[in-house]
Amino acid sequence: MKSHCLSYRLTALALATCTLAPCAWAQSDALANTDLLGRGEYLARIGGCANCHTMPRDGIPFAGGRPVSTPLGPIFSTNITPDPVHGIGGYSIDDFKRVMREGTAPGNRHLYPAMPYTAYTKASDEDLKALFSYLMRAVPASTYAPPPTRLPFPFDQRWALRFWKAAFLPSGLYVDKPGKDAEWNRGAYLVQSFGHCGSCHTPRGLAYQERAYDETSRLFLTGMVNDDWHATNLTGAQGAGLGRSDAAAIARFLRTGHADGKAAFGSMAEEVEQSIQHISEADARAVAKYLKTLPAQREEGAYTPQALAAPVGPGPRNGDRTADVESVGARVYTSFCAQCHQPDGKGVAEVFPRLVGNASVLSDDATSLIRLVVQGGRGPRSASGPSPQVMPGFDSALTDVQTAQVLTYVRQSWGNRARPVTTNDVTTLKRKLR
């Protein structure tokens, strides 16, 4: 009887051991999967996947259909939900990596470089695995079929993209730069891969290729026009670049769209709102640290703060007198702009951006300024930033001459030194926007 009881206890212990161990393993796997999906969701957010692959307002998340403006015509984003027919449900991890790094979908279907695979080619295996796991396991499948992209001949011949890739697609994952610390390398990795900052901020060539992919080129992140918005210079240029912004201000701007008297607008406001505001504080600091090490390139415009010593407008210091002839630009500014941006151009902190020394104001390219005056704009809504403010458009209130002159006044007042805006600049852009 005792032998039987001992045998029973040993058997029970063995069964308990066999039963409990898989549970522990399962819990460990569950935690690992949770971490993987969390990492994938984070990368999808800061990489702007939902932003590009979701129609504005009432679109289905990640189901595609959003048009991406290019010089050749609109390119519609694809469905990247796990639907096996219209999405990526039939993809393997290798298929996904090939799409992300080579721009080639299953069936050797070449993707247009509106999808920034030129940046994702640097993404690590671990990050691509996490992103793929999130899209396949945490995103609801959708049967939505986005409109097909139809570009004019010969650009509709996707097979020709293999030659474009052979000429312009960089190869190789990001490799840490020797002599740089972990934070700098993390910032460089994010800027060059999931942040794909160069897609908007690096000039493109005649073949729509980015003319630089990292800091070894003088053209990297020096600014360009996208979809009739000018993406600013992110190098250390003193006028229209980041030379006068410190790393803390840059990091805050990434997470809120506001810093140092500046506010995001246009496509950058949407980018902050939908994507970059989700970047962690540590990653924001790393990106800022990397950007602050980029030497000044493509200097344009200038800001001379000592010019502010001169009195502006009427006041006791100049006998309450104004100039004998006030310019058209000054009169328009006083009537339409000064209430928000203030007579001295300093704006209102965390509410209305300052125009004094503003890098966007000093840029040689005035596309964004003209578009803001004509169409208006809105600041970004973020979890930790101030409430967004709306700037009205003045297309019906101002003539092209008045728009040009008020912008010239702003770009040449309070210490700002930038080229004048011409009436032709305004008329040409308005024609494009229509």
Where among 142, 173, 195 does a domain terminate?
Answer: 142
Q: How many domains is the chain partitioned into structurally? A: 2
Residue 323: per-residue pLDDT: 45
Q: Is position 309 within any domain?
A: yes
Give residue 30's pLDDT.
Answer: 56
Local structure of residue 358 (DSSP, 8 states): -
pLDDT reported for residue 82? 97
- The label of the residue with tokens 């928000």 reads 340
In a domain, 199, yes or no: no
Domain that holds residue 368: 302-315+324-433
| Domain presence at residue 24 | no
| Alpha-helical runs (H) found in 231-301 | 247-256, 266-274, 281-292
Whether 130 maps to a domain, the answer reads yes
Q: What's the pLDDT score for residue 21? A: 43
DSSP string, 45-65: HHTTHHHHTB-TTTPPTT-B-
Whether 95 is in a domain gets the answer: yes
Whether 249 is in a domain gets the answer no
Structural domain contains residue 350: yes
Q: Which residue, 142, 164, 184, sits at the end of a domain?
A: 142
CATH number of the domain encompassing residue 393: 1.10.760.10
User: What predicted TM-score, i.e. pTM, was given to this entire model?
Assistant: 0.87
Query: Do the domain assignments include residue 286?
Result: no
Domain containing 128 — which CATH number? 1.10.760
C-alpha span between 105 and 303 (Å, rounded): 48
Pairing between β-strand 377-378 and β-strand 75-76 as defined by DSSP bridges: unpaired
Q: Which residues have a Cβ under 8 Å from the Cβ of 419 and sit 6 or more positions away?
A: 301, 364, 366, 411
Per-residue pLDDT of the chain (434 residues; tens, 9 = 90+): 444 443 433 334 333 334 434 454 445 555 558 899 999 999 999 999 988 999 987 789 999 999 988 888 899 999 999 999 999 999 999 999 999 999 999 999 999 999 999 999 999 999 999 999 999 999 999 999 999 999 999 898 999 999 999 999 998 999 999 999 999 999 999 999 999 999 999 999 999 999 999 999 999 999 999 889 999 999 999 999 999 999 999 999 999 999 989 999 999 999 999 999 999 999 999 999 999 999 999 999 999 886 444 444 444 443 344 444 578 999 999 999 999 999 999 999 889 999 999 999 999 999 999 999 999 999 999 999 999 999 999 999 999 999 999 999 999 999 999 999 999 999 999 999 98
Written as six digits, the tokens of 143 are: 């049967």
